[in-house]
Each structure stands twice: as structure tokens, then as C-alpha cells.
Amino acid sequence: MADPMRIRAQVAGDKATVRVLMSHEMETGLRRDGAGAVIPAWFIQEVSAAHNGKSVFNAQWGPSVAKNPFMQFNVKGAKAGDKITVVWKDNKGDSRTDEATVS
Amino acid sequence: MQTRREMLHHSGAVAALLAGAGLLPTAAQAAWNKSAFEAKTMAECVKALGGGAPAESKDVSVTGPDIAENGAVVPVGCASSTTGVKRLLLLVEKNPSVLAAVFDVTDSVDASFNTRVKMGQSSNVYAVALMNDGRALYAVKEIKVTLGGCGG
Amino acid sequence: MKTASFCAGLLALAGIALVSPVAAQTKTTADGIAEYRAMLADGNPADLFEARGQELWKTKRGPKNADMSQCDLGKGPGVVKGTFVELPRWFADTQKVQDLESRLLTCMTTLQGIEAKAVTEERFGRGEQRNMEGLVAWISAESRGMKMNLPQSHAQEKLSYEIGKRAFFFRGGTHDFSCAACHSVEGQRIRLQDLPNLTKNPGDGVGFAAWPAYRVSSGELWSMQRRLNDCFRQQRFPYPGYASDVTIALGTYMGVNAKGAASIAPSIKR
Amino acid sequence: MKTSHITLSGIAVAASVLVAGCATTPSSAELDALATQTIMTSFRDQGIAKVDRLKQDLGQSACSSDKPPSDAVAQRIMEEAKASIKWPADGQYFGDFAAGERLAQNGRGSTWTDAPGSPNGGNCYNCHQISKAEVSYGNIGPSLYQYGKNRGISDVAAATALPIIQYTWTKLYNSKAYAACSNMPRFGHVGLLDEKQMRDLMSLLLDPRSPVNQ
């Protein structure tokens, strides 16, 4: 199973800035291993976030997002103590959901 | 390289057929848009996502360093200050496929996202805002990728 | 900090920059690289490795099904904070000067019963090496901001320093390189990468006080052993054994020289 | 030789002496011997990078401390280096500057991850500025931008150009000819680059049409 995400959500005025790090290879499918065989594509395809259970955005990613991805966004109206949930799903069907409290 | 391109081109064509020309998922849990992620140009990509002809606009901004010490991780951002933004896209012109990420915007978030992308070489990076009315507005920035380290 | 002083140096050369397009271009490049590094600093994927390491420390593992809570990193069993900035140091139980990784190896073998070769013969980034990388990320992070302060009171610690110094200057290989060939003068670069002068304290968060680090180029957390291993590879030397005497001695030499430098490990590097 | 008794027993013996509370610190020569012992036992063969690469010649051993060698030793290193120079067999010093640029960019070769027989790059940009278009260059060595132009080379066939041509060939072939402890690899002497590759680098540096001299 994939490692947990690291989510930091901090109040900034009337919104919260959320920074997320995800543990993922983000393999493009274009590289070859030492023996010359193509390393199969393996990357996060879908990302979404919710604020206190309500969806705030969905994203689609391609394999050119960097390994161990970073993402930053601002949630309007989020206050200290609110919950931010982030979900990712990769092209092999693996997924991960993690939650952070706004501080 | 050429073999791979041909292969990608082929599977892209199949994907386009399967997707049905111009029929795009609009539900919140949209399926991954294969043809958009296989597009070789901004115009092709925007079209696959249902947008019109891209036009440069001051209402959209793209952020990133002028020069990247390593193309494996290049910090980039896309944002729009105007209303009516449906989606924000990040594209790298000279990558094998141009599209890196699509963010579907709602009223609950700023139309502003930062992430990090891979860049195979120095290239233009585009932020594109797909508007509710179908327009596609973009901003562009050139990011130079340098060779680093001992090179071994 | 490094970048700031580098830019200051360029400003001092502004007179040259005005007349020389080459110097002007260098300035632009250096500024661009500084901007790139600043953008990456907020959101260091080393965080992901720290989390794994913290978890591993308290996870019961190995044939003895034990956690690492009784591991003595130099300040007594279970104490982690402050240990990183005092390693390598002498350990009475093993009668050896040990760096963080060789000490962790001792704990993994004695406490958990893990075979040494499961670590020393594993490829970097895989298996027990991956675990090691998590552990060093977390342990170094626990001393973040503290100043390097390696002990030099034991005769073996002094000996380790002297051997490390000689290894640092040892020229060999097909290309006649030594560590010192690139790391004994201020202001030098390979391509655009600054080369800290490691024969003295190169400043807060530079050189020894910056590793372990997340390497952007490989997307992996590099420990000091791995950093040294790849230096020797690029030096065209043969292969240094994992946690071998020469690598530990080099750690002592660089660590003692860095006395007073605040640690930023685990940092983020190209 | 005073240190010979500890060279084989190595650190263990020295350690026990020190632990036992030896009042005197080890001499510099003893430390040198211990360091050599430590180095020799810490490395192993991997791929094409064998432990015999740790065997030092005079130039390497004399330039392995924080102090430069004596003038006499430095002189000897430089003389031996000058005597090692092989001029190109047919008197042809020049090749293809575009191939030279590729070589200058290439930092590969001779590491334990390189396949046997894979060619070496020149590693030049790691340490030198060369063509102006490449902004990612090191500064361990001097800038070589406009190398030929700055030395007044407008025609490489001119008789007046010959001293510069031979100086440059010598630097590439065995840099120790002009600086005993130069940090530059001895590309020709060690066989890192062949004659054709050396010619290509010569063109990169000296050909008036090369991007270096624009």
C-alpha cells in the first residue's frame, strides 16, 4: 500500500492554503530499465479534495507530473479546525485518502 | 523515439474513436481524458477538452522559474483572476505529450494551483483557462532546463 | 545562504558585468537557479521519508520482533533529538567510531536481529536501504536547526578525523580526482552546482549540514553514505563498502570541520 | 621505515595502542600509513572500476595532501608529463568542432555504472566555460570562451599558430606538464580520449569557425 500523504492546511485570511505531498513513482512509461525493457507507466491520474466532506475540486494528471508529487491550492472559507481531505487514484487502480485539520 | 511516437499516435486515434468525437465527460467524477493526455499540441489538447481556439490573455497567469536546475522537478503554477473559469490546464510544449494536469475549478477554491512537472528540455509552459462559455485563454512562459552535476 | 553570498559576490563584480556580456549572463543564470531552489524549498518530499522513518523507529521488526526504541545513538537508549549533529562519534559497546548509518546498522542487527548484509549488500533505495533512508531522514530532522558539534575527545575520534582528512585529499582513479579537487576552495562550481569548501565550516545548512537530502534528480532520499558512494563513483574510484571505515572517517572529517553550522537536514538538492 | 610494523596489522593495533592510553599521538607518517590501510580495505571492485585504481603514481601521491609537493618533486612530475606527450601520428591536430562540442558536454565514462568499452566524454563543461550558448558550466578551470581568438589564432595552418597548438595539445594530453597538481584529467596519457577525440576538442578550442571563437 502506498505511503500516506503529507497534508498541511493553514489559515491565510478568509481561506486556507493547502500543501500536499504524495508518495508516488509517477513513472512515464517512456523509460527503459538497465536491461532495455520499457518500465510500464504508473502514475496518479485523478486527484480530488474536499472541505468538511464537500468536494472542492477534481483534477486529472498525466505522467509528466513530477515524482512524489506536490500540489498547492487555496480553499475559500476554511477555518481552523476544519477538515481537508485529499484523494488520489492511479492508473493501476491503487488509491489513497488522507485528511488534515486546518491550523 | 519515432516508433514510440507512431505507437502513441495510433493509440491516441483509437482513444479518440472510443471517446466519440467531441463528447466529453462533464460529471464531477470525470474519467481520465486519454485523448487530451495524448495530445501533441496545445490546440489539440484544448479541443479534446472541449475548448475553442486558444487565445493569449492577461486574465491568466503561469508561474515558474526562468531556469530549472533539474528538469525532473520543475515548480509551475496556473491561475486566473477572472470569473467563469471552468478548468485550469498546465501544458509543457516540448514534452512527448503536452498536457501535465487539468484542475476542475469550483466556487470553493481559488482558480490557482501549483504543482511540479517534468520537463525533458527547455520549453514553453502554458497555463490555459477553459471558460464556462467555451473560450480557451492562455498565458505562456519559457523555462530553460539546464544540465547539471557531473553528468555521469 | 550559499546562494545569497554567491549573488553578493556577483554584485561585487558588477563593474565587470557592465562591460562583459558573459558575466551578465552568469548573473541571470545564478539568479534563476536561486529562484528555482526557493520555489522547491516549500514542500520538500523528504517529509514523506521522515514520516516513514518515524513509523519505522517504533515498528517491531526482524527475527527478534523488536522496535528501535532501545537504540543508543550516542545520547542514551531511545534518545534521538540532538544525536544527528554529534555523529560520527565513538561507541564503547562496539569499540568503534560510527556514523549514523553504521550505528543504525548495529541497532538493527543487535536489537532486531536483522542480518547486516540485508542492509550493506542491498541496492540504495530498495529493501532495508529504503528503510535506512526513512530512518536517517527522520533522525536528522529531529536535530533540524541544531549546530554541528561532533565530539573529538576520544583518541579514536581524533584518529578518525586524521584518516578522514587523508582520504579527503587522496588522489586516484582514472581521472586523478580527490574529494579535495572539487571541495577545498570557495566559490567553485561543477556546471551550476555550488561546491562547498568542506575543509572548513562552509556555513549553516551547507555541505555536511545539508545531508541527508531529497535528490530531485532521482526522486529519492539520499543518506550521507549514498552521497559519498556517488561522489566516489563520479571520481571514478572503485566501490566504497557501505558503512566502511573510509566513509565513516570522511564523515568525521567533514562533520568536525562543520562545527557550529546549523543543520537543515534533510534538505532538498538537485 | 618506522611505520612498517603497523602497516599490516592496521587500525586494530593502532586502536588498541591508543585505547591503552598511549601518551603520544601517532606521528604523521603513522597516520599516513593508517589512512592508506583504511582506504585499501574500504573499497572493492565494481564493474569496470577495480581497486587497482587506488594505486597511485608519483603525480597522484605527491598531490594528495593539503600541502603542495616540494619544488623538486613538482619539477619531476612536470618533466615526466612533458616526456609522456605523443604528438598526433600524421601531424594532424584538428578534427570536427561540432563533435568536440558534444564531447565537451559529455560527462560520462569510466565509472562503475559504465559498460566495459563505453567511450569517455571530455567532462569539459563540468569545469570550464566554453561555447557561449551553454550557460551551465563550472568554474574549477579557467573560461575557455574565445580560447583561440584570445590567442590570436585566425588560421590554424599558420606557422605562428604552432606553439599555441602544441601547448593546447599538451594540456589535453597530460595537463601535469604545466601544473604538477592540476585537477584536469590526463586525457591522452591515461587513454581516456583517443587521438580523434583530442583532435575534435582541439578544433572546438582553436578553429576560428568554432562557436567558442565567435
Q: Give the pLDDT band of residue D130 (cuts 50, 70, 90).
A: very high
User: Residue C241 and residue D34: Cβ atoms within 8 Å?
Assistant: no
Give DSSP secondary structure letters for D33-99: HHHHHHHHHHEE-BTTB-GGGG---HHHHHTSSSSPPPHHHHHHHHHHHHHH----TTS-----HHH
User: Which pLDDT score, from 0 to 100, does residue B24 have?
Assistant: 32
pLDDT at A1 over 80: no
Domains and CATH numbers, chain B: 2-22+30-145 (2.60.40.2470)
User: Residue C43 and residue A4: Cβ atoms within 8 Å?
Assistant: no
Q: Which residues of C touch B144 (CB under 8 A)?
A: 32
CA-closest candidate to residue D152, choices D98, D201, D206: D206
Q: Compute the average pLDDT of residues D180-191.
A: 97
pLDDT at B102 over 80: yes
CATH topology of domain D97-213: Cytochrome Bc1 Complex; Chain D, domain 2 (1.10.760)
Min mean pLDDT across B120-134, C110-124, D17-31 is at: D17-31
The one-character DSSP state at D154 is S
Same domain, C30 and C113: no
Contacts of B83 (CB under 8 A, 6+ apart): none
Stretches where chain C sits below pLDDT 70 are 1-27
Look at the alpha carbons of C107, C108, C114, C120 in this order and tell me if their dihedral is positive or negative: negative
The nearest alpha carbon in chain B to A45 belongs to B32
User: Which pLDDT score, from 0 to 100, does residue D143 have?
Assistant: 98
Average pLDDT of every residue of chain A: 96
Same domain, C33 and C115: no
The nearest alpha carbon in chain C to A66 belongs to C219
Same domain, C14 and C110: no
User: Which pLDDT score, from 0 to 100, does residue C26 have?
Assistant: 53
- Could you give the CA distance from residue C25 to residue D65 in angstroms, rounded to a whole number? 36
Q: Give the pLDDT band of residue B31 (cuts 50, 70, 90).
A: confident
What is the residue whose three cell numbers read 491516441?
B12
Task: Give the domain ranges of chain D.
Answer: 4-68, 97-213
User: Which pLDDT score, from 0 to 100, does residue B38 have?
Assistant: 96
Question: Does D102 touch chain B if contact means CB atoms closer than 8 Å?
Answer: no
The one-character DSSP state at A38 is B
Count CB neighbours of D21 within 10 A: 7
Q: For chains B and C, what is the number of CB pairs under 8 angstroms?
A: 60
Q: How close is the nearest chain A Cα to the Cα of B32, in Å? A: 6
- Could you give the CA distance from residue D70 to residue D68 in angstroms, rounded to a whole number? 7
User: Residue B65 and residue C36: Cβ atoms within 8 Å?
Assistant: yes
β C267-269/C213-215 pair status: parallel
Q: How close is the nearest chain B Cα to the Cα of A103, in Å? A: 18
- Could you give the CA distance from residue D69 to residue D63 in angstroms, rounded to a whole number? 6
Domain that holds residue C15: 2-41
Question: Of A60 and B4, which is predicted with more confidence?
Answer: A60
The gap between the terminal CA atoms of chain A, to the nearest Å, is: 28
Q: Which residues of B touch C35 (CB under 8 A)?
A: 65-67
Same domain, C35 and C131: no
Q: Residue D126: which of B67, B146, B150 has the nearest Cβ?
A: B150
Q: How close is the nearest chain B Cα to the Cα of A98, in Å? A: 18
Average pLDDT of every residue of chain B: 84
Q: Which of C7, C71, C179, C231 is catalytic?
A: C231
What is the residue whose three cell numbers read 562503475?
D112
| Amino acid in the structure at residue A69 | P
pTM of the model: 0.88
User: Residue B106 and residue A72: Cβ atoms within 8 Å?
Assistant: no
pLDDT at D2 over 50: no
The one-character DSSP state at A4 is P
Same domain, C156 and C238: yes
The CA distances from residue C221 to C196, C268, D101, in Å, are: 20, 9, 34
User: Which pLDDT score, from 0 to 100, does residue A98 have?
Assistant: 98
Is C231 one of the catalytic residues? yes
Classify burial at C188, counting beta carbons within 10 Å of its beta carbon; exposed 0-12, middle 13-18, buried 19 or more: buried
Q: Give the pLDDT band of residue B131 (cuts 50, 70, 90).
A: very high
pLDDT one-digit tens code per residue, D44-91: 999 999 999 999 999 999 999 999 999 999 999 999 999 999 999 889
Count CB neighbours of C77 within 10 A: 12
Dig out the grid coordinates for B101 from the structure. 494536469
Q: Which residues of B touch A30 (CB under 8 A)?
A: 4, 96
- Could you give the CA distance from residue D153 to residue B140 in angstroms, rounded to a whole number? 43
* Contacts of the segment C149-155: beta carbons below 8 A, 24+ positions apart: C149/C85, C149/C86, C149/C259, C149/C260, C150/C85, C150/C86, C150/C87, C150/C88, C150/C89, C150/C252, C150/C255, C150/C256, C150/C259, C151/C86, C151/C89, C151/C90, C152/C256, C154/C89, C154/C90, C154/C97, C155/D18, C155/D19, C155/D22, C155/D25
Q: Which residues of A touch B115 (CB under 8 A)?
A: 65-66, 69-72
Count CB neighbours of C169 within 10 A: 20
Check residue D84 and give left, alpha or beta (phi > 0: left; psi -120 to 50: alpha).
Answer: alpha
What is the residue whose three cell numbers read 481520465?
B32
The nearest alpha carbon in chain D to B69 belongs to D136
Q: Residue C234: which of B73, B116, B152 has the nearest Cβ?
A: B152
Q: Which residues of B touch C36 (CB under 8 A)?
A: 65, 67-69, 74-75
Q: Compute the average pLDDT of residues D120-149.
A: 97
Neighbouring chains of D at 3+ CB pairs under 8 Å are B, C
CA atoms within 13 A on the CB side of D154: 1
A13 domain residue, yes or no: yes
pLDDT at D17 over 50: no
Same domain, C31 and C114: no
Q: Residue B96: which of A30, A49, A72 has the nearest Cβ?
A: A30
Q: Number of structural domains, chain A?
A: 1
Q: CATH no. for residue A78?
A: 2.60.40.10
Question: Does C192 touch chain B if contact means CB atoms closer than 8 Å?
Answer: yes
- Could you give the CA distance from residue C241 to residue C252 in angstroms, rounded to a whole number? 17
User: Residue B69 and residue C190: Cβ atoms within 8 Å?
Assistant: no
pLDDT at D21 over 50: no
User: Which pLDDT score, from 0 to 100, does residue A82 have?
Assistant: 98
- Chosen for mutation from B70, B145, B147 (greatest number of chain D CBs closer than 10 Å) is B147
Q: Which residues of A touch C48 (CB under 8 A)?
A: 3, 6, 21-23, 68
Q: Number of structural domains, chain C?
A: 2
Count CB neighbours of C232 within 10 A: 26
Q: Which residues of C touch B62 (CB under 8 A)?
A: none
Neighbouring chains of C at 3+ CB pairs under 8 Å are A, B, D
Question: Does C42 touch chain A if contact means CB atoms closer than 8 Å?
Answer: yes
Write out chain C in H/E/C secondary structure: CHHHHHHHHHHHCHHHHHHCHHHHHHHHHHHHHHHHHHHHHCCCCHHHHHHHHHHHHCCCECCCCECCCCCECCCCECCCCCCHHHCCEEECCCCEEECHHHHHHHHHHHCCCCCCHHHHCCCCCCHHHHHHHHHHHHHHHCCCCCECCCCCCCHHHHHHHHHHHHHHHCCECCCCECHHHHHCCCCEEECCEEECCCCCCCCCCCHHHHCCEEECCCCEEECHHHHHHHHHHHCCCCEECCCCHHHHHHHHHHHHHCCCCECCCCEEEC
What is the interface pTM, i.e. ipTM, of the complex?
0.85
Question: Does B143 touch chain C if contact means CB atoms closer than 8 Å?
Answer: no
Question: Does C53 touch chain D if contact means CB atoms closer than 8 Å?
Answer: no
Domain that holds residue A16: 6-101
